[in-house]
Structure formats: C-alpha cells, structure tokens
Structure 1
Amino acid sequence: MIIIYGIKNNLNPIKSRLSDVIQYCMNRELGLPDDKRSHRFFPMEKEDFYYPGSRSDAYTVIEINMMQGRRDETKKALIKSLFTEIENTLGLLPVDIEIIIKEQPAHCWGFRGMTGDEVTDLTYQVKV
C-alpha cells in the first residue's frame, strides 16, 4: 500500500501520472505486477500540510508500506528510481519529494482472509 500526500492544487492534476510512475518503479525494482497497484492519495489544503521551509508547494510525501524481506540494495534502488522517474516525467525536483519505506513482518499483513505469512500464491517475490 502506498500513501501519497501533497497540497491538493499541486497533487490533483498529477495524480494519475504520478501513480503510473510509482507503479513503473515498483514493477521495475521490486518485480511487482501492474495489478498490484494499491495507491491512496491524500490531497490536502495548504493550511493543513506543514512542510520544511526549504521546499516548494509541490512538496510530496510518498509512504511505501510493504512486507519485510527486500534487501537494502533493492530498497535504495527503488528510492533512487522514484526520484529520477518523478523528476523526468513530472518535473518534480528531488528536494520536493520525500519517500519513506515502512516494513512490517508478513504476519502483520492481512489480505484475502489470511495473513501474509500464510499466503502461498503470490505472483511476485518478496525476498528480492
């Protein structure tokens, strides 16, 4: 699950393209299939979104929640890929993007009536 926060006047016009870029990077770096897109956008009023003074109104926060198991090198490659692709595709400067990866053990995930450590039919690898 990926959660994206930003000022609504800046985030709303790029939501669809940003989702495509994020999914492209998730596919390329983690091997996730396209049908595993799970993005939630939270466009906020400017007065409700506090951010560092050295950032512009384009400041965007991307929280990536995933099961533990990916190597540090894989997670770093994902972060760097996101910075590059978002800048190249949408023109958002890396200084205006914050990326946080939050990992939880598989037993803390619940989907399709089971926990993540019980699932045996994932179409992608977690340990990459």
Structure 2
Amino acid sequence: MAQVKIYGIEQRLNLIKKELSNTIHHCIVEALEFPENKRFHRFIPMAAEDLYRPAGRTDDYTIIEIIMMEGRKPESKKRLIRLLFERIRKEVKLSASDIEICIIEQPAYHFGFRGMTGDEMMRDYNAAI
C-alpha cells in the first residue's frame, strides 16, 4: 500500500492533476510492482502565498510525498525516484528542479484499512521489492 500526497500552487497543479496522477501511478506500478488497481492519490492545491519554496523554483514547484509500508529494498525506492523525475519531466513537462520527492515508510501495523491493521491484511503485491 502506498498513499501519495501532491502539493503545489493551485493555479498550476489543478491544470496537471490527471496527467501527474497517471504518471506517478505508472511509476509506482513499475518500480514497486504494485497492482494497477491500487491508486491512492490526494492533491493539495495551495495558494502561492502558502507555499514557500527555495530560491530558483518556479510556480511549477511540486512536492510529492509517498507514504508506504516499510520493507522495500533501497534499490527499488531509488528506482521509483529516478522514474518519477524522468517521466514527470517528459510527460508532464515539469523541470527536475521544481520537483521534490519524499518517501516515508511506516511499519505495516501503523496502517488501517478495510477494518484491519496492515500487518493483518493479506496483500496482493510483493512488499519486499
């Protein structure tokens, strides 16, 4: 299971939501071998004055947080990050300098869905990728 939060300036983010969601999802499916039907994305469009960003970033500045159960290999997470930078640049036309990615991992028992904790659920994907 992975949940994705995408933050950006509302005027720009609202224009690219669908394309960005599709790109992020395909990267997660490919890099982590998630099932195609597992998509949990939340867009958080913000007023420009509410999103402080480092010098040199444009209004395209986008933060992607991926929250997932721990256990995946470092190589898989690095592959995911590389794919995101490459495909978002190519498919969504955002510069790598305007993209920040953070993977946050938690133990499976920190997740709750379908009435159970994550460690109680039978997953239909390989969490050790």
The two structures have a TM-score, normalised by structure 1, of 0.97
Name which of 110, 115, 124 aligns with 2:112. Answer: 110
Aligned residues: 127
Q: CA deviation at 1:46?
A: 0.4
Runs of 4 or more, structure 1, over 2 Å off, are none
- Counterpart mapping for 1:1-128 below 5 A: 1-120=3-122, 122-128=123-129
CA distance in 2, matches of 1:79, 1:118: 29
2:107 is matched by which residue type in structure 1? Answer: P
CA distance in 2, matches of 1:43, 1:109: 25
2:86 is matched by which residue type in structure 1? Answer: T
- The gaps in structure 1 that reach 5 residues or longer are none
Q: CA deviation at 1:33?
A: 1.4
CA distance in 2, matches of 1:56, 1:78: 24
Two-structure CA RMSD over aligned residues (Å): 0.6
Counterpart secondary structure, 2:29: helix
Counterpart secondary structure, 2:119: coil
CA distance in 2, matches of 1:68, 1:62: 18
CA distance in 2, matches of 1:108, 1:29: 23
Give the fraction of aligned pairs with identical amino acids, expressed as a percent: 50
The two structures have a TM-score, normalised by structure 2, of 0.96
- The gaps in structure 2 that reach 5 residues or longer are none
1:127 is matched by which residue type in structure 2? Answer: A
Counterpart secondary structure, 2:88: helix
Deviations 1:54-83 (A, max 9, x none): 211100000000000100000000000000
CA distance in 2, matches of 1:21, 1:33: 15
Q: CA deviation at 1:40?
A: 0.1
2:103 is matched by which residue type in structure 1? Answer: I
